[in-house]
Structure 1
């Protein structure tokens, strides 16, 4: 079927191509122009419609050849003769192949740059971690905490990393600093069981029984009523001198694991006090 008007999609693709070009987004511009040319190849345009798309493509190619990023792209390949991209009527297929080749090369370069940036960031992270550990080992806590905080700020989105640093703070008895990180991990990565255990250890050292209780309740909600968790809650309440709760959780622990001697010992102790 002959087309006497430029199809809407073709016109939109050609328009987007120029818009992205003027916004210096060359890859997206090339993707749009390639889609537009593919549309042209799939349409049987004649007369005014054919002339119109040829003008639009020619104007785009003229702008493309003058763009600094395209000039840099070809000069990097020791190509200085212009125009870098040529368009002649009836050679849309050759033009499409040329543009797709440029697009693929640019995407490969972007991917290589992205990988290089990621590798650089990994090296930077490891460098800071090593420095932070060394400072902590030397008991230079102010500087050590500062360096390790930078790691958390930069890479805290990586699962397990903040927990590792919090454990290091805990190892050096920096309970306030450690528990702050453990709590942030619980919020961000609720399935990180080590963070719950670390937070509990900190709060026990700080005698913050109420906050310790809150962590245990979060753990029960997240992981279910594991016998060990139930026993730990019973032990917490015993230390907190909330014997009714200690008794209830000890019984729940035994119900979940009838062979749990530690829970039975708590029951026996509490019963001796009451009776």
Structure 2
């Protein structure tokens, strides 16, 4: 008697879990989330195929499975994908009690093929974007080399706007402006690179170089000091700051930073030379 009660409770629990998974699968299907729909449907099918019995809940579960299979087979994305791989005509899924393993295999194969198709499409789109980016970069370089600056700037700004999620792209556009002597445009790009990718040390270095070349020493100084906070104080960084202050004729500040460089690396020859000159 007790065992019968336990079995009945287990069957009721299995039926409830299957219904919940089917309901979840249908919800994902309505939201056009085919992969999660398949995952939930497979969970329900596995439980149905491994459960010894469902008692009175079997007929309801079978009906729900049949409805889910019909809805899945009529879904526009399912039909479009099946047609794209040469499958059309009869309904893709038809539920029959006892065929749960077959349905699991069909749904799993469908998901794998759709994932492969989507990955191929992503790869094609990435190739297209890469070709377009490289074309615009080449046109930008070409126009800058010809000193056709307005057209060159149009192409390069287009690259930065379209592909600015890549730190190397923004930095490369800034470098091209810098090499062409378009210093304000270069500063703008390096500022954008630092804003989007604050850990990009090269962008910081190039921004400092650009502001230095523009004669905007206050901005260059601020970036140097912020760089020490962000990336830490290194001997070569302190040496570069000291050389920057020398160029700005701030000898006391130069002495402070060259001393910091030598505190960390007493064998830094250039730093030794600068400090000796400052001490004369």
TM bin, normalised by shorter chain, reads: 0.7 to 0.9
Classify the secondary structure of the residue corresponding to 1:44.
Answer: coil
**2:38 touches 2:108 (CA, 8 Å); kept in 1?**
yes
| Aligned position for 1:90 | 98
- For 2:243 and 2:83, how far apart are their aligned partners in 1? 73
**Contact persistence 1:179–1:203 (CA under 8 A):** yes
Aligned to 2:115: 107
Q: Aligned with 1:120: secondary structure?
A: helix
TM-score when scaled to structure 2?
Answer: 0.86
Q: Tell me, what secondary structure is at the counterpart of 1:160? A: helix
Kept in 1, the 8 Å contact 2:28–2:34? The answer is yes
Residue 153 (1) aligns with residue 161 (2): yes
Q: Which residue number corresponds to residue 172 of structure 1? A: 180
Instruction: Report the CA distance shift for 1:34/1:259 in structure 2 as closer, same or farther (over 3 A).
Output: closer
Q: Matched residues in 1 for 2:242 and 2:44: separation?
A: 70
Q: TM-score, normalised by structure 1?
A: 0.88
User: 1:27·1:106 contact (CA, 8 Å) conserved in 2?
Assistant: no
Distance 1:190 1:80, change over 3 A: closer
Q: Which sits farther off after the overlay, 112-121 or 178-187?
A: 178-187
> Aligned pairs, how many?
272
Match of 1:135 among 143, 160, 163: 143
SS of residue matched to 1:166: helix
2:235 and 2:83 mapped to 1: Cα distance?
Answer: 69
* 2:8 is aligned with 1:5: no
Deviation at 1:269, TM superposition (A): 4.9
Cross-structure match for 1:50: 58
Is the partner of 1:173 in helix, strand or coil?
Answer: coil
* 2:131 corresponds to 1:123: yes
Cα deviations across residues 57-80 of structure 1 (Å, max 9, x unaligned)? Answer: 001112222222222233334443
Aligned residue for 1:45, secondary structure, equals: coil
CA distance in 2, matches of 1:193, 1:148: 22
- 1:34 aligned partner: 42
Shift of 1:225: 2.8
**Against the structure 1 CA distance between its residues 229 and 65, is the aligned structure 2 distance closer, same or farther, given a 3 Å change threshold?**
closer
Instruction: Show CA shifts across 1:109-139 (max 9, x none).
Output: 1111111111111111111111111111121
| C-alpha separation in 1, matches of 2:268 and 2:112 | 64
- In structure 2, C-alpha distance between the alignment counterparts of 1:267 and 1:105, rounded to whole Å: 68
Distance 2:79 2:112 in 1: 17
Gaps of 5+ in 1: none
Say whether the 8 Å CA contact 1:163–1:182 is kept in structure 2: yes
Distance in 2, matches of 1:246 and 1:78, equals 73
The alignment's C-alpha RMSD in Å is 2.3
Range that drifts further, 105-114 or 225-234: 225-234
Equivalent-residue separation in structure 1 for 2:142 and 2:90 (angstroms): 57
Question: Which stretch of the first structure deviates more once superposed, 50-59 or 79-88?
Answer: 79-88
Contact 2:49–2:98 (CA under 8 A) maintained in structure 1: no
